[in-house]
Copies of this chain bind each other. A is one copy, B any other.
Amino acid sequence: MNHRRLNGLREFLPRSRADALLVSGLANIRYLTGFTGSSALLLVSDHDAVLFTDRRYEVQAAQEVQGAAVTVARGPLLTALIGSLKRRCLRRLGFERGRASYELYEALRSRLEGCRLRPVAGTVEQLRAIKDAGEIEFIRRAVELNSAVFEKCLGRIRAGRTEADLASAIDHTMRLMGGEKPAFETIVAAGPRSALPHARPSLNLLRKNEFILVDQGVILRGYSSDMTRTMALGDPGRKGRRVYQAVLEAQMAAISQVRPGVTAEQVDRQARKVFRKHGLEKAFVHSTGHGVGLEIHEAPRLGRREKTKLEAGMVVTIEPGAYLEGFGGVRIEDMVLVTERGCEVLTPTPKDLRVL
C-alpha cells in the first residue's frame, strides 16, 4: 500500500523538476509510510525513501514504517538529513511549500551548496484527497462511531448542565466506545454562544428555549469524522425554526450538487444561493466544507473561488451555518463521499430539528 502511495508521489518528481522530495508534514509522512510519531522528515527519491526520526521513536519506527528505510538521528534530525543529502549530491530538491517552516528552508538553502530548492505545492495532499477503499472503510467506521456517540449523549442534554459538562461527556464516550480521541476540540455552544462558529465549551448553562450546537468528531485508526447538529431545548421560537429550516435547505441543496466534475465553488455557491433567498447570506460566515481524512481539515476546501473539481473517492463535509449575533446560530454538517455517479451521505444521524 505504501509503495503504491510512494510511487504516486514519485510521478510528481519530474513535473516538479526535482530529483527528490523532502516531506515534512507529519500527516503526509504517516500517509506515505505509516509512521505516527511526532518527529520525522521523509526523503523520497525516484528509487528510494528514507525516514529520519530521533531516538525516542527508534522502536516505534521499526514497528510502523513500511516502504521506507529508517535513519535514527543521534542529534538534530536536520543535521542527519543534510548529511544524507550531501552524500547523495542531489542537484534539485523539492520541499513542501505549505508544510516546511521558513527555518527548514533557510537551513537547506544555507547548508546545501549547489542544490536547487524547489517549493512544491500540495502534492501529497492531492494524493490524499482521493481516498482508497481501505481509507473509505476507516472513515465510514469513524463516522458511524461518531454518530453512535452522539446518540448515546443526547440524553445528557438537559437544562442546567454546562456546555463543558456535555463536551466532556461526549469526549469520554468516544473513548469508552473505542475511539482513539476527539478529532478536534468538541464544540458545545448554547443560546447566544451558538452564534460563535468556533465557540469553546464554557461554564455557560444550557437553558430552555435555546439552541444547542454540537460539533464533534472522533478519530478511529487515524481517520477523522466530523458532524454538527443543532438542537432546541424546548421551543426555539419562530425565528429559530425559520433559521433552522433555511440552514437545512442550504445543506441539502449543497449536497445535491456533489458529484464528480463539479467544482468545489459550485457546491459552496449552491448553499449561498439558498441563504440569499432567506435573507441570511451575511449570516453564513465560513465556507461550505472541507476534505476529511488523516487530518480534520484537508483538501479540497469547498469555498469561494475554489476551482478544484470533485472526484470519486473524495470525502468532504457539507456544513453551512447561519450565525446571528446575540440570538444564536445553526449549523448542520454531514460527511459525504463522492461516488462515481454522485455522492453518498456517510453520516446516518437524522437532520430534522430535534426538540429535546
Contacts and interface: CB of A to CB of B under 8 A. Distances in A.
Contacts of A97: 101-103, 106
A176 interface: yes
Nearest to A39: B198
Interface in A156-210: 164, 167-168, 171-172, 175-176, 181, 185, 195-200
A36 interface: yes
Interface in A92-116: 95, 97-106
A198 B102 contact: no
Interface in A64-106: 75, 95, 97-106
Given A37-B198, A60-B196, A285 B98 contact: no
A177 to B, nearest CB: 10
B175 A285 contact: no
Interface of A is mostly: mixed
Contacts of A172: 168, 171-172, 175
A56 interface: yes
A95 B106 CA distance: 13
A354 interface: no
A119 B175 CA distance: 43
B198 A38 contact: yes
Contact of A168 (B55, B60, B176): B176
Contacts of A38: 198
Contacts of A58: 285
12 contacts: A55-B286, A56-B197, A59-B325, A60-B199, A97-B103, A100-B102, A102-B102, A168-B175, A171-B171, A171-B172, A172-B172, A181-B185
Given A58-B285, A97-B101, A168-B175, 16 more contacts: A36-B200, A38-B198, A56-B197, A60-B196, A60-B198, A97-B102, A99-B101, A100-B101, A100-B102, A102-B119, A103-B119, A106-B119, A164-B175, A167-B175, A171-B172, A172-B172
9 smallest A-B Cβ distances: which pairs? A168-B175, A55-B285, A172-B172, A56-B197, A102-B105, A100-B102, A98-B103, A56-B286, A97-B103
